[in-house]
Chains A and B, each alone.
Chain A
């Protein structure tokens, strides 16, 4: 199968974030970047599908400045065959703008399947995948936790709140991938070496106009320091009260 996977370069999710002086972005000093978690599941799904289903091609796409080339190489070190960078200085927050760039590039690519992560860690939008599918005019399944392809048709499972939905669809189609579906493989040194030689194309990104822009970024209010609220069963009523009023989880 010819599979396209759209990935994103995002900071490591364990980091503590600070807001940059511009107030409209995070401070990137000292942050480590890698393939976005959900996108890496999508890459793994693509690789596994092509491993199971005989010869195919997995192509990874990313929108962004030259820094994303490292991220594309990482995907190729996992096993993707080639990569395309849609170059732009800054990735817009506007998911539709990004979707337009991807759709313009993917159209006519002859892909059986286009995969995305459910959402990206940094923008947490969950927009690009579904919107790109719509622009390409292909069916889309969002947040798949299971995906199987056979005879030109796909079956996917999605989690609804408290239930699981099974859907079927024809190819070509787009699927956004949720966690739990596959564990992204750890690139072997062999893979890392091979990735250096795989083709990486750079083209300008044909972004749509950015109609959603960042006005400001703020850190959420400080989590109050944890405290021991009491001893023994006697402390239970106070705990209930705090869970209800302060933490609002009860």
Chain B
């Protein structure tokens, strides 16, 4: 029997997806080591306590709520201190959190403060006797490393989206706790947060990229690519050197040896032959789809899925299909 602490990240008063994933992982771990409690710590501006029910639904036995007006913006220092203070006061087998952008800031600090070992970007957690065994990808996802964490406690930072948030309803007991430090005393001050929602998603960050090449025949036809990108919702639009050189697209859209090098989850190459210089820019994409009317085109050698056909025909059909698929999720 041992308890586990979870830092549940919020933005403002809303829980982030990664927080629920962390709770799910913590729940599974606790159950695997023979039962215990999952304590979810949530810190935010007033009203953040309302997240307790959601946390309970996903397996939290206790929800520790630290409300403070100074937490309108994320304050890493006071949150770190609060987690550390709690973990000092109460003994935990492990501290879970999501390895998000903010998690990267908090996790290692907590570990250093408490002199605990920490593992990050974790995709699987298992108890193995006295040790905790985790898996995480290294070498740019080319190698899966299995790590053994020894010691009475550890910090486990879960890779976002590696665990699916699963309901495991508990009636969570809500406890109010105080922040261990005043946000106003923090040295790192958040000046502003600018939502990137509108406007172009950066090629380097987009999980999906739809790229067009000379096979589109004319600059007007790039609309097909844009429509497909819009259908995905979170996609950026890229281009090959041939079409940026011809002025169809701005140079900043060029993907290739002399342009951007990208590795999205999904890369859709529309009317792109796959010349060596372009491949150099996108080969490490997780999944590559190619649409080209030339079945000998080199792009098909690197694509996971290829469709041989006229892009004018295939792309609109694909756009419609993607829209539908997204609507049903």
B88 at interface, CB cutoff 8 A:
no
The 8 Å CB contact of B307, one of A158, A160, A239, is: A239
Closest Cβ of chain B to A65, distance in Å, is 20
Q: Is A140 within 8 A of B188, CB to CB? A: yes
Q: When A212-B148, A240-B325 are in contact, do A228 and B136 touch as well, CB less than 8 Å?
A: no
A90 at interface, CB cutoff 8 A:
no
Q: When A123-B138, A143-B101 are in contact, do A243 and B289 touch as well, CB less than 8 Å?
A: yes
Least CB separation from A136: chain B residue: B112
Q: Is the interface of A mostly helix, strand, loop or mixed?
A: mixed
Closest Cβ of chain A to B266, distance in Å, is 4
A71 at interface, CB cutoff 8 A:
no
Complex interface bits, A148-180 against B, C-beta within 8 A gives 1, otherwise 0: 000000010011111111111110010000011
Q: Is the interface of B mostly helix, strand, loop or mixed?
A: mixed
Closest Cβ of chain A to B33, distance in Å, is 18
Interface size on B, residues (CB 8 A): 83
> Given the complex, which residues of B lie within 8 Å of A139, measured CB to CB?
77, 187-188
The 8 Å CB contact of A163, one of B105, B154, B194, is: B194
Complex interface bits, B100-131 against A, C-beta within 8 A gives 1, otherwise 0: 11101101110111011111110000000000
Q: When A180-B204, A212-B148, A237-B321 are in contact, do A232 and B309 touch as well, CB less than 8 Å?
A: yes
B60 at interface, CB cutoff 8 A:
no
Q: Is A127 within 8 A of B305, CB to CB? A: no
Stretch at the interface among A48-56, A74-82, A92-100, A193-201: A92-100
The 8 Å CB contact of A211, one of B105, B149, B321, B325, is: B149
B308 at interface, CB cutoff 8 A:
yes
Please report the C-alpha to C-alpha distance between residue A95 and residue B137 in the assembled complex, in whole angstroms. Answer: 15
B221 at interface, CB cutoff 8 A:
no
Q: When A134-B109, A217-B144 are in contact, do A247 and B317 touch as well, CB less than 8 Å?
A: no
Closest Cβ of chain A to B329, distance in Å, is 8
Least CB separation from B289: chain A residue: A239
Q: Is A143 within 8 A of B308, CB to CB? A: no
Closest Cβ of chain A to B113, distance in Å, is 6
B192 at interface, CB cutoff 8 A:
yes
Stretch at the interface among B212-220, B248-256, B294-302: B294-302
The 8 Å CB contact of A142, one of B104, B118, B145, is: B104
Least CB separation from A123: chain B residue: B138
> Given the complex, which residues of B lie within 8 Å of A62, measured CB to CB?
none
Q: When A127-B111, A228-B295 are in contact, do A96 and B190 touch as well, CB less than 8 Å?
A: no
Least CB separation from B304: chain A residue: A226
Closest Cβ of chain A to B301, distance in Å, is 7
Q: When A215-B133, A236-B318 are in contact, do A124 and B304 touch as well, CB less than 8 Å?
A: no
> Given the complex, which residues of A lie within 8 Å of B115, measured CB to CB?
96
Closest Cβ of chain B to A241, distance in Å, is 9
A231 at interface, CB cutoff 8 A:
yes
B277 at interface, CB cutoff 8 A:
no
Q: Is B313 within 8 A of A233, CB to CB? A: yes
> Given the complex, which residues of B lie within 8 Å of A130, measured CB to CB?
104-105, 107-109, 112
Please report the C-alpha to C-alpha distance between residue A216 and residue B116 in the assembled complex, in whole angstroms. Answer: 22
Q: Is A159 within 8 A of B205, CB to CB? A: yes
B34 at interface, CB cutoff 8 A:
no
Please report the C-alpha to C-alpha distance between residue A228 and residue B266 in the assembled complex, in whole angstroms. Answer: 16
Closest Cβ of chain B to A91, distance in Å, is 13
Q: When A96-B115, A169-B188, A212-B117 are in contact, do A218 and B109 touch as well, CB less than 8 Å?
A: no
Please report the C-alpha to C-alpha distance between residue A249 and residue B329 in the assembled complex, in whole angstroms. Answer: 13
Least CB separation from B208: chain A residue: A249
Please report the C-alpha to C-alpha distance between residue A19 and residue B287 in the assembled complex, in whole angstroms. Answer: 24
Within 8 A of B (CB), among A1-58: 11, 13, 16-17, 19, 26
Please report the C-alpha to C-alpha distance between residue A220 and residue B194 in the assembled complex, in whole angstroms. Answer: 37
A189 at interface, CB cutoff 8 A:
no
Least CB separation from B105: chain A residue: A142
Q: Is A247 within 8 A of B118, CB to CB? A: no
Given contacts A95-B108, A220-B142, A232-B310, 18 further A-B contacts (CB under 8 A): A17-B139, A96-B111, A124-B136, A124-B140, A130-B105, A139-B187, A140-B109, A161-B101, A165-B192, A168-B189, A169-B187, A215-B146, A219-B144, A226-B304, A236-B318, A239-B289, A244-B325, A247-B287
Name B's A-contacting residues (CB within 8 A). Answer: 74, 77, 80, 99-102, 104-105, 107-109, 111-113, 115-121, 133, 136-151, 154, 160, 187-197, 204-205, 207-208, 265-266, 286-289, 295, 300-310, 313-314, 316-318, 321-322, 325-326
Name A's B-contacting residues (CB within 8 A). Answer: 11, 13, 16-17, 19, 26, 93-96, 99, 118, 121-135, 139-143, 155, 158-170, 173, 179-180, 211-220, 223-224, 226-233, 235-237, 239-240, 242-244, 247, 249-250
